[in-house]
Structure 1
Amino acid sequence: MSFVSLFKKRKPRDEAALPTAAIIGAPTNVNHDIHVSVTKDGVLEGLPSCWIRQIGTQITKDEQNQNPEVVKKVLQYYNFSVKKQQQGGQAKDIKHIFTERDIAEESIEMDLYMKSRDAHKSKDSDEVISSDDCSNGNNLYEQSRSTYTVASKEPVEPEPNLLQTKNLTQFMEDLTIEADEIEYRKPSLNDDDIYRRRSAMSDAHYMKEIMKICNPGDPLDFYEKTQRDLGSGASGLVFAATNKKTKELVAIKDIDMTKQAKKDLLLSEIKIMKNFQHKNLVNFLDAFVVNYDHLWVVMELLDGGPLTDVVTETVMKEGQIAAVCHEVLQAVNYLHNRGTIHRDIKSDNVLLGMDGTVKVTDFGFCANVIGNEQRDTMVGTPYWMAPEVVTRQKYGKKVDIWSLGIMIVEMLDGEPPYLKEPPLRALYLITANGRPKIGAWDTCSPKLRDFIDQCLQVDVDSRATADELLQHEFLECRMELRSLTPLIRAAKKMLHKT
């Protein structure tokens, strides 16, 4: 290029010749808050279009018309749960131990989600969205177009006053800012909680911290692997082993650290679980780092299997139900007294010994020793979920009491309410109906009915605490734990697990 041509005055561009897709319109739809209204035809307005498609036939127009706020909250919780699980990736096999503080932070996170692009797919988008994508929630988390419109038909002139006050380049850069790109401050943590913070610590640093609190020896010097595999998950295998010194069977979870996105949670779990010891918990026994990138977590092994097998294959007497409730409540009360919430009490997470021992599992490293994929749904087993989990009203320790009440329904009816419903509709029914109908209610004794009533109060203030339920007269009629052994053996035989 010559020196003259470099400074030659350029001809102005022909604005009409620009592609219409390049014409940037003024910002629209800046406010992301969802406001729900109902048309005369009973159709919800104000929800992202993909959320409307998700409803499908699961929630009728009459139900939408009667409970629009419930529908909104259910869709919000459902999609937030899907998004959170997708973000967690293969780390979801490790379940964070929850406190009331964690719940408050999760509620803030949900509020921020409602203001983000993920929750607000552009309703006027010309992208083709399949009904299948909407039904499973995946479409909500694909990268979408900017919330600022790009004209596709008629060019839109930018407002003169905006161009007068800002450089055009800066103005266009401003348009790229999305609500979910804004970094919000987390509530400050004290020194005791510092190890749980989502910090910028490197994986190598976390591994060093994990190695410091694990057994430095070789696990094969302490335990001998058997040929019995107990299960598998995204993060690794669970297998049985024998303690070489005591000859007791244990379960070892082999966690592939390369598949764990949140090693800070692993670190916090080990620290907390080492201090959790109770006769009604599946206790953490030891931990080893193997070949630097595998974490072996040693836990108690109960050979009777999950309570689910017993409730689905046999009919339990009230005395046996009382015995199970007494043991589970002792575990729940222990956790609650230490500021911990289980959040997933159900028969799948109650393991039995062949002698009738009852222990609660699926918290921390005890998760998914023997899983039930059919009942482990994408939103965290909603069938046992208390209504306030979705509505976020007075959400705390008493969610475990509601779940215990639903587990009693399992022991009476063989399954929880709404199990045959898809998760989204189950969430709606739980939130809209509150206390479910119980098939075996007419056959229950007055003491059992009152015990269930104390568990399944929709009003959280009226719901009993674990400590109060342990004093309930229904538990006085409990049978000995060994009375569960015949049921365990019968269930094993029916399910060909002997």
Structure 2
Amino acid sequence: ISDIGAPFQVKHNVHVGFNADTGKIEGLPTPWMDLLQEANISRTEQLENPDAVMAALKVYNYSLRNKQEKWLANQETIDHETEEIEHQLDDSGRRKPSNDDDMVADITNDLKNRKMFADVNTLPVAGPGGHGSPATAPKQHRPVVDPQRPAVGAGAAGDHNGDQPQIRRKPKPEAPKALTEEEVMTQLRAIVNSGNPKTRYKIVKKLGSGASGTVYTAVDNVTQDKVAIKTMDLAQQPKKELIITEIKVMKDNKHPNLVNYLDSYLVDNDLWVIMEILEGGALTDVVTETVMRESQMAAICKETLKAVAFLHSKGIIHRDIKSDNVLLGMDGSVKVTDFGFCAQISPDEKRQTMVGTPYWMAPEVVSRKQYGNKVDVWSLGIMVIEMVEGEPPYLNETPLKALYLIATHGKPDVKSREKLSPELADFLDRCLETDVEKRASAEELLRHQFLMKAESLSTITPLIRAAKKILNKN
């Protein structure tokens, strides 16, 4: 009889759960435990809402690990992302956990900067098999029964007395085949402008650079219009196929209330993307430095909703609606920005390298239940609170604590609610409905009575000028 060998490939499965005796959640990776301690979530809160604490931890950690990725989102990519978030702590997760030292460094850096605005909801949107999916509405496949296999619980033909329901087998979507480097470049050359951008555009100023590229302001020598140029080193992009998809989507889906894609070029191994630019700056400056009338808020909401409804009609979910991403023209025009791969190229590297702040997130983003395009409607409601109060709820909390509060409190309190008109109060209620089924859609809100109050967009211009003067941005 041969000797019994030593065991191999031993796995130690750690049970994660709430310990009522200690009043703590136990079994978490060390960085997660450190984060929980720093987040000011008390033992009482852990005892009362352990599921919410775990959900917040999972979303926060996933966001932290994937903070530099941002792609157009649709329902299919969100469903895949939810699966990855849920399996972070077990062996069924598709991605290997980050190195503990790297995670601790990321968490420490994020806690240092937690009170600064950052890119919210920057959860990646990888499609099946780790690749992103095209930014169009996912096809709905009818369930089909495998003709070679009887349905589970099915009796003989014509037997209607079986106790078990018949289950239809749904086909699993096939993972898209990765393109070779040569195929990617061939497809890119086919969709970009073959001209020379260095002769078409005159660079005026470098706005900043980040991990994904550099942003400049420039002048179009043909039209004399000011534009933004975002340059991206393709050698540093691991998902070039998604860039091809998104350029096609942006070319085909332009709207007056979106910061639109204008053109793109290949310069050696760099991709140049030409985008519209608005010189009024972000709505954030106006809401933090000036007091808006309800009629001006209505005008902003109306224009923002036009953009959101358009994206939703194309199967695209923005997932980052907030005042930072609503840009203003000096004529008061309103355009939504910061979606798709262009959002990865930020002029402010510090904002880009931080985990996304969660203050505009809907409760279902944390719980991952009924997560669909109405997350944008919730975020619009939080943006309305910004316009009313100057900042979103929970801004002084750590990001993890804010996630916990969003998951447990639902609709946030509005400090000055008694001062709101009935129309604005109802508009807020329709946006911040925690029951996703009852929450209004963007299309429905465009018909809301509050928007009937909208003033001319030109009335926003004095607010823009006042904010610029206060912030020395003239």
TM superposition score normalised by structure 2: 0.80
Change (3 A) 1:186 1:376: closer
The aligned residue for residue 435 of structure 2 is: 459
Change (3 A) 1:64 1:387: same
Shift of residue 328, structure 1, vs aligned partner: 0.2
Q: Is the 8 A contact 1:44 1:64 kept in 2?
A: yes
Shift of residue 350, structure 1, vs aligned partner: 0.5
CA distance in 1, matches of 2:415, 2:65: 35
The answer to whether the aligner puts 1:383 opposite 2:359 as a matched pair is yes
CA distance in 1, matches of 2:131, 2:473: 49
Question: SS of the counterpart of 1:355?
Answer: coil
CA distance in 1, matches of 2:109, 2:57: 10
Change (3 A) 1:241 1:128: closer
The answer to whether the aligner puts 1:224 opposite 2:202 as a matched pair is yes
Question: SS of the counterpart of 1:382?
Answer: coil
Shift of residue 42, structure 1, vs aligned partner: 1.4
CA distance in 1, matches of 2:263, 2:105: 43
How many residues align? The count is: 417
Please point out which of 314, 318, 325 is paired with 1:338: 314
CA distance in 2, matches of 1:214, 1:347: 31
Written as runs of structure 1 = structure 2, the 5 A alignment for 1:15-414 is: 27-30=10-13, 35-57=16-38, 58-85=40-67, 92=69, 95-116=70-91, 133=105, 135-136=107-108, 199-226=177-204, 228-291=205-268, 293-367=269-343, 378-414=354-390
Shift of residue 40, structure 1, vs aligned partner: 2.6
CA distance in 2, matches of 1:79, 1:467: 33
Shift of residue 225, structure 1, vs aligned partner: 2.1
Q: Is the 8 A contact 1:346 1:407 kept in 2?
A: yes
The answer to whether the aligner puts 1:468 opposite 2:444 as a matched pair is yes
The amino acid of 1:267's aligned partner reads: I
Question: SS of the counterpart of 2:44?
Answer: helix
Q: Is the 8 A contact 2:218 2:229 kept in 1?
A: yes
The answer to whether the aligner puts 1:448 opposite 2:424 as a matched pair is yes
Change (3 A) 1:342 1:356: same
Shift of residue 423, structure 1, vs aligned partner: 1.1
Q: Is the 8 A contact 1:197 1:264 kept in 2?
A: no
Shift of residue 380, structure 1, vs aligned partner: 2.6
Question: SS of the counterpart of 1:461?
Answer: coil
Change (3 A) 1:264 1:435: same
Once the two structures are superposed, residues 197-218 of structure 1 have per-residue CA deviations (whole angstroms, 9 ceiling, x without a partner) of 6633222321221111000111
Q: Is the 8 A contact 1:114 1:120 kept in 2?
A: no
Please point out which of 451, 455, 458 is paired with 1:482: 458
Q: Is the 8 A contact 1:99 1:341 kept in 2?
A: yes
Q: Is the 8 A contact 1:305 1:352 kept in 2?
A: yes
Shift of residue 45, structure 1, vs aligned partner: 3.0
Q: Is the 8 A contact 2:214 2:347 kept in 1?
A: no
The amino acid of 2:37's aligned partner reads: G
RMSD: 3.3
The answer to whether the aligner puts 1:432 opposite 2:408 as a matched pair is yes
Once the two structures are superposed, residues 306-328 of structure 1 have per-residue CA deviations (whole angstroms, 9 ceiling, x without a partner) of 00111111111101100000000
Shift of residue 435, structure 1, vs aligned partner: 1.1
Q: Is the 8 A contact 2:215 2:228 kept in 1?
A: yes
Once the two structures are superposed, residues 224-280 of structure 1 have per-residue CA deviations (whole angstroms, 9 ceiling, x without a partner) of 222x22332212211122222221111111111122122112111111111111000
Change (3 A) 1:480 1:373: farther
CA distance in 2, matches of 1:368, 1:137: 19
Identical-residue share of aligned pairs (%): 46
Change (3 A) 1:25 1:278: closer
The amino acid of 2:42's aligned partner reads: T
Unaligned runs of 5+ in 1: 1-11, 16-21, 122-126, 139-183
Q: Which has the larger radius of gyration?
A: 1
Q: Is the 8 A contact 1:285 1:298 kept in 2?
A: yes
The aligned residue for residue 165 of structure 1 is: none
Q: Is the 8 A contact 1:280 1:359 kept in 2?
A: yes
The amino acid of 1:107's aligned partner reads: T
Change (3 A) 1:129 1:257: closer
Shift of residue 83, structure 1, vs aligned partner: 2.2
Q: Is the 8 A contact 1:53 1:134 kept in 2?
A: no
CA distance in 1, matches of 2:397, 2:17: 25
Once the two structures are superposed, residues 334-353 of structure 1 have per-residue CA deviations (whole angstroms, 9 ceiling, x without a partner) of 00011110000000000000
Question: SS of the counterpart of 1:436?
Answer: coil
The structure with the largest helix share of the pair is 1
CA distance in 1, matches of 2:306, 2:419: 27
The aligned residue for residue 164 of structure 2 is: none
The amino acid of 2:247's aligned partner reads: I
Change (3 A) 1:231 1:133: closer
CA distance in 1, matches of 2:259, 2:199: 23
CA distance in 2, matches of 1:301, 1:350: 12
Q: Is the 8 A contact 1:230 1:369 kept in 2?
A: no
Instruction: Decide which moves more: 200-209 or 395-404.
Output: 200-209
CA distance in 1, matches of 2:55, 2:380: 24
Shift of residue 186, structure 1, vs aligned partner: 7.4
The aligned residue for residue 154 of structure 1 is: none
Shift of residue 425, structure 1, vs aligned partner: 1.1
Shift of residue 128, structure 1, vs aligned partner: 10
Q: What stretches of structure 1 move > 4 A for 4+ residues in a row? A: 22-26, 117-121, 127-135, 184-190, 368-377
Q: Is the 8 A contact 2:131 2:239 kept in 1?
A: no
Q: Is the 8 A contact 1:39 1:45 kept in 2?
A: no
The amino acid of 2:43's aligned partner reads: K
Shift of residue 433, structure 1, vs aligned partner: 1.1
Change (3 A) 1:113 1:411: same
Unaligned runs of 5+ in 2: 111-127, 140-173
Change (3 A) 1:339 1:451: same
CA distance in 2, matches of 1:187, 1:204: 18
